[in-house]
Structure 1
């Protein structure tokens, strides 16, 4: 529940007269300002200081963190009385029992501040990734089922389970106390929608990002640090639970080749390189008849999972914008097989566009795409990890164009902490591509994460410069370097509440 990101929402269109930018933070724009700028766009920008994650259930820490937020803002405590839990621990461990009290109090604070909310439906374990300082496991009633039936989790070839999220193999299997996984997701989303109806009706909740896999991203958990993976390892396929293997067997039977009902036996391990394997090396088995069959099946399972969950999300949140997040697997992008993308479920070798089917699926549900790693530069990757043959710029450009080609909104965020001008400039390049004849642009950018490091004076000055440029303001280096006073961001009350 911690406030950890800032989101810039852009609605840009060509504008050939005098150029203005309108800044709004609340649902009303009565106090908006319209400074003159020198960009050929009119921009409407929202700062969402609260990008909040929901999950299967609400942790009791939500209450204390919301309470701490009020204290830190120096407001009277009687204005925001403590919330009393209405559900005890035994009840909270039961399916379809949700405690929304902490969220309700925090949402009321956000509404009082005249801000908007982007809420994330998180159906994954939190913790253990870059930048994580908390650990929130799956609900206890789910992990209890996993103790007796570990096949509810993804598994690698050696049978190691990954409890970050539930296997897509149980999307339609009634193994969660009589419910399928997608029914569990839908019941949670429906409960949230009913509980916070007023916030939806008042447009305080402006967007729902639907988690579709580990870290909330639509991908297989192919590179888990808990199993020893280190960058830039190719990762491993994650289809060896009994439910996904049953589906693979059916697909092989339908194809008439039952002996294809297996995963590759020459795909290396988590920290292998492509050329060390018989499957991913140049001319390797990934491009054989069997390889194409397996990779097509593996990637289709990913697309089908997104299709099912987003269909139910649209049903639960009818009338509210939804989005899903895609990870940026940029290492080994400059090889023929794109091995790291293949193990993550993106069938994107050099001779195939693996992101077009995903974009088409999102288009079907009217969902926006949120993509990461827009701040990374290929040159930096070559200097730091030349052996990875990474190309984040090429990957970003491919994915953005796949989404723009089907006319869906594209948002983005930084993958790693970003405080330098080179990273900010790369974000700006991706947000508003120069000389694009169609005027395509990002619809939103989420800055990760608010931290004490960002608030250091020199870092915050660079951040101020970046934010002004995201507004479309012309900022000179002289102006940025001479600005020694406490910097502020334009918002409802012209400052960032952190």
Structure 2
């Protein structure tokens, strides 16, 4: 009897403590005292027009003042190849960027600048059209193989195929020489902004949307989420590379792309290549995917080596896309067509991180605001896992000790999305105390500047900076007109 009582007393006390336990502080507000993560905001895609003129200097100045009032660290802007070198080879017009950069310097903000060697238009969020330089598209008329090409022979003019990195098909220059000349011109033109460190980082465009990937899921060719996409290696230059690799392997008949990988909107189980136990894991499949992913890594390696020459002493970064659909399948089909050789039995991001480490390049990764549960509710058929993907990529980068920055993949205005970003930016349970080196918000817009949305954003910035914020606290913008002028909305 006494034994039972002695056992029951501490058990009752434990139950009582749990029932009367003080409510824990909300996860929404417990980032005070955490590391300072700088926050940048992307400017609108059309802030510089096709004549390289800043569209609305005074309107932009007012917007940047509002961003400055909540202690945003800086802004990110695309320097479009199609605008700056748009009309003739080696003729650069930086005029609109000079005006923009001076405004940023006057407001004591920092600049992340993207060397954008890709076309703008045709992808999610693109609201303007900025093609590749006119003289490049003229070459493409007579030689369409300068572009990535799918199995049916459809070219994609978003960016140049990596097959011409070393081919003198651009008015006597290789693609690598074109990229380097552009970067060197920028470095010389804006020397003063580098010297006083207004320019804090240069992000190097390495493919479509500025990301190191193949253009495997282009909406212009009918792709819709969550299609697996298609391999993009059928231009004559990449096929020549594949032939060489197959011959070196001793199997010249392997010099072909998969003939059973479906089409842009296929699901993995519909194909013989991507299904469980499919050809992706055969001897040929492993050969092809190794070659396909190696071409991607070698392109990044070559361009980043030149970027380090052009921007010596400045932080450079490369961007990876967050291809999270079909992540819960064995093949990871959508990642494979994009060039990330990351099936369930292989880590496809570690070799990329190692290449970035070689050039001391920071990794910028997307989709940190997405929740796996939300994806499962909205698109259960996609078997997506953005949280698993983010965790894998961040750890691949942290394992080789390179800085990791991030940005949101889709517009984000609510606290739930901001909380997810914060959880990834500063993992509270990480024993090594690792955190993002910076976060870039996509993007400045009239919706962001609406009063309630901007107050929420201002509190998000405080939490990223490690400052204390309470549920009832308002930002300095309470009562201030944060609306973007009407002409900016048009």
Shorter chain as denominator, the TM-score bin is 0.7 to 0.9
Q: 1:451 aligns with which of 431, 445, 449?
A: 445
Hey, what's the Cα distance between the residues in 1 that align with 2:252 and 2:484?
60
Name stretches of at least 5 consecutive residues in structure 1 with no aligned partner. Answer: 1-36, 75-88, 490-494
C-alpha offsets along residues 183-220 of structure 1, whole Å, 9 cap, x if unaligned? 00000000110111111111111110000000000000
User: 1:53/1:119 Cα in 2 relative to 1: closer, same or farther (>3 Å)?
Assistant: farther
Hey, what's the Cα distance between the residues in 2 that align with 1:240 and 1:353?
26
Map residues 170-185 of structure 1 onto 2, 5 A cutoff: 170-185=164-179
Hey, what's the Cα distance between the residues in 1 that align with 2:40 and 2:32?
23
Residue aligning to 2:23: none
C-alpha offsets along residues 81-122 of structure 1, whole Å, 9 cap, x if unaligned? xxxxxxxx9995210000111111211111111111111000
Residue aligning to 1:416: 410
Residue aligning to 2:50: 59
For normalisation by structure 1, the TM-score amounts to: 0.83
User: 1:466/1:38 Cα in 2 relative to 1: closer, same or farther (>3 Å)?
Assistant: closer
Q: 2:334 aligns with which of 326, 332, 340?
A: 340
Map residues 356-367 of structure 1 onto 2, 5 A cutoff: 356-367=350-361
C-alpha offsets along residues 390-432 of structure 1, whole Å, 9 cap, x if unaligned? 0000000000000000000000000001112211111000000
Hey, what's the Cα distance between the residues in 2 that align with 1:362 and 1:90?
27
SS of the counterpart of 2:285?
helix
User: 1:353/1:169 Cα in 2 relative to 1: closer, same or farther (>3 Å)?
Assistant: same
Map residues 76-475 of structure 1 onto 2, 5 A cutoff: 93-475=87-469
Shift of 1:456: 2.3
Aligned residues: 438
SS of the counterpart of 2:55?
helix
C-alpha offsets along residues 241-273 of structure 1, whole Å, 9 cap, x if unaligned? 000000000000000000000000000000000
Shift of 1:167: 0.2
Residue aligning to 2:488: none
Contact persistence 2:150–2:232 (CA under 8 A)? yes
Contact persistence 2:446–2:484 (CA under 8 A)? no
SS of the counterpart of 2:54?
helix
Contact persistence 2:120–2:130 (CA under 8 A)? yes
Hey, what's the Cα distance between the residues in 2 that align with 1:90 and 1:313?
18
State the structure with more CA Rg: 2
C-alpha offsets along residues 352-400 of structure 1, whole Å, 9 cap, x if unaligned? 0000000000000000000000000000000000000000000000000
Contact persistence 2:214–2:232 (CA under 8 A)? yes
Name stretches of at least 5 consecutive residues in structure 2 with no aligned partner. Answer: 1-29, 66-82, 486-490
Hey, what's the Cα distance between the residues in 1 that align with 2:229 and 2:93?
37
User: 1:72/1:328 Cα in 2 relative to 1: closer, same or farther (>3 Å)?
Assistant: closer
Hey, what's the Cα distance between the residues in 2 that align with 1:321 and 1:150?
35
SS of the counterpart of 1:417?
coil
Hey, what's the Cα distance between the residues in 2 that align with 1:97 and 1:124?
18
Hey, what's the Cα distance between the residues in 2 that align with 1:73 and 1:41?
26
Hey, what's the Cα distance between the residues in 2 that align with 1:90 and 1:404?
35
Hey, what's the Cα distance between the residues in 2 that align with 1:426 and 1:90?
37
Contact persistence 1:488–1:496 (CA under 8 A)? no
Relative contact order, higher structure (CA 8 A, sep 6+): 2
Shift of 1:288: 0.1
Bigger shift: 385-394 or 91-100? 91-100
SS of the counterpart of 1:472?
coil
Hey, what's the Cα distance between the residues in 1 that align with 2:137 and 2:363?
30
Contact persistence 2:324–2:384 (CA under 8 A)? yes
Contact persistence 1:50–1:117 (CA under 8 A)? no
SS of the counterpart of 1:62?
coil
Hey, what's the Cα distance between the residues in 2 that align with 1:99 and 1:331?
40
User: 1:50/1:385 Cα in 2 relative to 1: closer, same or farther (>3 Å)?
Assistant: closer
Hey, what's the Cα distance between the residues in 2 that align with 1:127 and 1:233?
20
User: 1:193/1:73 Cα in 2 relative to 1: closer, same or farther (>3 Å)?
Assistant: closer
